[in-house]
C-alpha cells in the first residue's frame, strides 16, 4: 500500500467517525437506541417464526450410504492432531472412511505424528499455502462421494456422519453443517464462548437453514458433495474466511445448505482475549470482504428470501452493532467529567425510583424485551440439542447477555476500522 492510498484510507476512517459524531449530536440517543432495538427484535422474531413454523422430522436413513472421505488440513498442529485422528477413526459409518491429512508444511513435527498413524493417507505440501489450499489438495485426492472437512483441533462425536449424511436426501443440497461446541471450556472467556456457540451453532444455524439462508459452512466440521465442490472450483485460496465464501458460492450457484442439530463436533477456542480478538477480527473482516464479492446477491429476485431479506438484514444488524458500540463509547467519554464529580462526593446521591410502570421510559421496556428474547434463544438452543442448562451456566449466561455482547461489538468496530485502513490480515 503506497502513501497516498494509506492517507486516503485514513481520511475515509476519519470521515466515518465524524459522521457518527454528527449522528449522535443531531438525533436523540433515544431514537438511535430504539432503531437498533427494533431491528434486533425484528430479526429475533423472524428466526423464532422460521424455527417454529418450518420444523420437519429428521430425514430417513438412506438405503445406500454414499462413500465418504475425511480431509484434515494440518499446520503446526502437534498439540491436537493425534486426538483429532483418534476421534475421526472412532466415527461410526456403514462404509470404510477414507482419511486424508494434508500437512501444510508444518515445522513442529505434526507431519511425523500423522505419518505414524495407521490407516490414513498423509500428503505433505512443501510450502505453506494456507488452509483453503490444503483443503483443495485433499479434496482432489479424495475418492468419496461425500467429503468431510475437519479442522485439526476438532473432535467429532462418533455418530456425527450417521446423523449428517441423511440430510443429503435432496439433490440440491450441496453441504451439511452440524453443531459446533467448545471443547472443555476453561476460564471466563471459555465459558462465555460455550454459551455463544450454543446460540450461534444450534438455534441460529438451524433457523437460517429452515429459511434457506445458511451463509457459512463452519470450518471445524462441514460435509459436502465432493463433485459439487469440484464443479464450483473448490475453496477460494485467497479468502480469509473460506468457509463463508464457499457457502455463498454454493448459494450463488443455486445449491442448498442444510443444518443437522442431532450431532456435534467439539473444537478448541481462543484462551486469551488477544487470540479471541484476532480470530473475531478475521471473521468479521471476512464478512465485509465476502459482502463486497457477493454484493450482487443483495435484493436479487433470483436468490429469493435469502437475497431480499436475510442477507441484507445481517449487514444492517452488524452495522447497527458498530453504531451501538460507538454510541456507548461516545456517551462514556462525553460524561467523564460528570462521573468524576460523582466519584468525588462523600455521600451517594439520592436516586428517585419510579413507583408507576408508566413512569419508566419505553426504551427500558424494549431493553427488557430484548433480554427476554435472548434468554429464549439460549433456552431453545439447549433444548434443540437435547441438553440442559445447569447451575454453572447461569452466571455466564448473565455475563453473556450483559457484557459479552459489548465485547463482540468492540470486535466489530475494530474489524471495520482495520478494513477501512487496509491493515494486513492475520490468522
Instruction: Let me know whether 253 and 153 are in one domain.
Output: yes
pLDDT at 329: 79
Instruction: Let me know whether 272 and 157 are in one domain.
Output: yes
What is the Cα–Cα distance from 308 to 104, expressed in whole angstroms? Answer: 39
Instruction: Let me know whether 237 and 327 are in one domain.
Output: no
Instruction: Let me know whether 84 and 228 are in one domain.
Output: yes
Beta-strand (E) ranges in 62-151? 68-74, 98-103, 121-124, 146-150
Instruction: Let me know whether 268 and 180 are in one domain.
Output: yes
Q: Are 150 and 221 in contact (CB under 8 A)?
A: yes
pLDDT at 1: 66
Domain assignment present for residue 348? The answer is no
Instruction: Let me know whether 49 and 118 are in one domain.
Output: no
Domain assignment present for residue 317? The answer is yes
Domain assignment present for residue 151? The answer is yes
Q: What is the pLDDT of residues 243-299, one digit of tens each?
A: 999 999 999 999 999 999 999 999 999 999 999 999 999 999 999 999 999 999 999
Instruction: Let me know whether 24 and 124 are in one domain.
Output: no
Say how many C-beta atoms besides its own lie within 10 A of residue 93's C-beta.
16
Domain assignment present for residue 408? The answer is yes
Q: Are 160 and 364 in contact (CB under 8 A)?
A: no
pLDDT: is 17 or 208 the higher one? 208
Q: What is the pLDDT of residues 368-398, one digit of tens each?
A: 788 888 999 999 999 999 899 999 999 999 9
DSSP β-ladder status, 146-150 and 68-74: parallel
Instruction: Let me know whether 202 and 264 are in one domain.
Output: yes
**Full residue range of the structural domain in which residue 330 is found:** 3-54+306-343+358-421
Residues 6+ apart with CB under 8 A from 74: 81, 101, 102, 103, 104, 106, 110, 111, 114, 134, 152
Number of structural domains found in the chain: 2
Instruction: Let me know whether 336 and 188 are in one domain.
Output: no
At which of 264, 279, 297 does a domain end?
A: 297
pLDDT: is 121 or 35 the higher one? 121
Instruction: Let me know whether 104 and 236 are in one domain.
Output: yes
pTM, entire model:
0.89
Domain assignment present for residue 353? The answer is no
Residue 205 sits in a domain of what CATH number? 3.90.550.10
Burial 368-382 (b: 16+ CB within 10 A, else e): eebeebbeebbebbb
Task: Name 150's bridge partners.
Answer: 221
At which of 227, 262, 297 does a domain end?
A: 297
Domain assignment present for residue 351? The answer is no
Instruction: Let me know whether 118 and 219 are in one domain.
Output: yes
End-to-end alpha-carbon separation of the chain, Å?
20
Domain assignment present for residue 350? The answer is no
Q: What is the pLDDT of residues 301-360, one digit of tens each?
A: 899 999 999 999 999 988 888 888 888 777 777 766 555 555 555 455 554 555 554 444
Instruction: Let me know whether 248 and 375 are in one domain.
Output: no
Domain assignment present for residue 208? The answer is yes
Amino acid at each position: 500500500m503506497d502513501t497516498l492510498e494509506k492517507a486516503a484510507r485514513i481520511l475515509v476512517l476519519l470521515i466515518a467517525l465524524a459522521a457518527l459524531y454528527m449522528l449522535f449530536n443531531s438525533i436523540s440517543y433515544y431514537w438511535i437506541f430504539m432503531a437498533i432495538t427494533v431491528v434486533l427484535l425484528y430479526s429475533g422474531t423472524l428466526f423464532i417464526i422460521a424455527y417454529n413454523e418450518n420444523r420437519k422430522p429428521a430425514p430417513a436413513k438412506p438405503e445406500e450410504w454414499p462413500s465418504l472421505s475425511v480431509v484434515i488440513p494440518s499446520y503446526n498442529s502437534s498439540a491436537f492432531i493425534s486426538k483429532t485422528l483418534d476421534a475421526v477413526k472412532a466415527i461410526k459409518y456403514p462404509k470404510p472412511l477414507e482419511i486424508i491429512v494434508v500437512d501444510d508444511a508444518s515445522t513442529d513435527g505434526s507431519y511425523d505424528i500423522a505419518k505414524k498413524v495407521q490407516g490414513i493417507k498423509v500428503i505433505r505440501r512443501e510450502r505453506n499455502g494456507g488452509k483453503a489450499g490444503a483443503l483443495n489438495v485433499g479434496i482432489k485426492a479424495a475418492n468419496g462421494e461425500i467429503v468431510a472437512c475437519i479442522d485439526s483441533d476438532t473432535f467429532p462425536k462418533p455418530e456425527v456422519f450417521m446423523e449428517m449424511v441423511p440430510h443429503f436426501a435432496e439433490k440440491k443440497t450441496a453441504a451439511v453443517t452440524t453443531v459446533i461446541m467448545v471443547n472443555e471450556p476453561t476460564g471466563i472467556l471459555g465459558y462465555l464462548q460455550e454459551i455463544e456457540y450454543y446460540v450461534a451453532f444450534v438455534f441460529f444455524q438451524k433457523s437460517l437453514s429452515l429459511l434457506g439462508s445458511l451463509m457459512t459452512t463452519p470450518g471445524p466440521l462441514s460435509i459436502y458433495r465432493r463433485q459439487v465442490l469440484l464443479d464450483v472450483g473448490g475453496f477460494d485460496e485467497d479468502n480469509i474466511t473460506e468457509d463463508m465464501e464457499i457457502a455463498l458460492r454454493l448459494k450463488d450457484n443455486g445449491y442448498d445448505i442444510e443444518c443437522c442439530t442431532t450431532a456435534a463436533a467439539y473444537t478448541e477456542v481462543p484462551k486469551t482475549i488477544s487470540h479471541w480478538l484476532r480470530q473475531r477480527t478475521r471473521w468479521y473482516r471476512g464478512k465485509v470482504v465476502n459482502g463486497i464479492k457477493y454484493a450482487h446477491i443483495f435484493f436479487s429476485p433470483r436468490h429469493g428470501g435469502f437475497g431480499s431479506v436475510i442477507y441484507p438484514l445481517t449487514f444492517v444488524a452488524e452495522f447497527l452493532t458498530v453504531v451501538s458500540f460507538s454510541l456507548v463509547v461516545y456517551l462514556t467519554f462525553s460524561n467523564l467529567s460528570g462521573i468524576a464529580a460523582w466519584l468525588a462526593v462523600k455521600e451517594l446521591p439520592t436516586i428517585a425510583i419510579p413507583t408507576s410502570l408508566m413512569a419508566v421510559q419505553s426504551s427500558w421496556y424494549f431493553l427488557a424485551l430484548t433480554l427476554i428474547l435472548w434468554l429464549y434463544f439460549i433456552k431453545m438452543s439447549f433444548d434443540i440439542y437435547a441438553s440442559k442448562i445447569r447451575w454453572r451456566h447461569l452466571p455466564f449466561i448473565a455475563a453473556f447477555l450483559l457484557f459479552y455482547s459489548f465485547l463482540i461489538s468492540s470486535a466489530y468496530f475494530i474489524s471495520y476500522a482495520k478494513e477501512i485502513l487496509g491493515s494486513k490480515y492475520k490468522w
